[in-house]
Amino acid sequence: MIVLAAVFGGLWLDRIIGTEKPIITIILVLVSAPLSLALTYWRALQVVKDIQASPSEEGQANFTKEDETVE
């Protein structure tokens, strides 16, 4: 999505400014590709952290059943 926005935004800016070569488009794509990759990596880390932080409902149910039988 970010890369597509960079392509279309760059083409539009190149047309508005009147550059002969699509230099702005190339610059925006070269900046947006690593940015998109970094944001994807960051989001994946957040999801993994959330999954590890929240215990499953089955684990909680089994834990409470075991506690009740021990008492």
The pLDDT tens digits for 1-41 are 999 999 999 999 999 999 999 999 999 999 999 999 999 99
Q: What is the mean predicted confidence (pLDDT) over 42-51?
A: 94
Predicted pLDDT of residue 60: 57
Judged on CB neighbours under 10 Å (0-12, 13-18, 19+), 46 is exposed
Question: Is the pLDDT assigned to residue 45 strictly greater than 80?
Answer: yes
Instruction: Please give the pLDDT value at position 62.
Output: 55
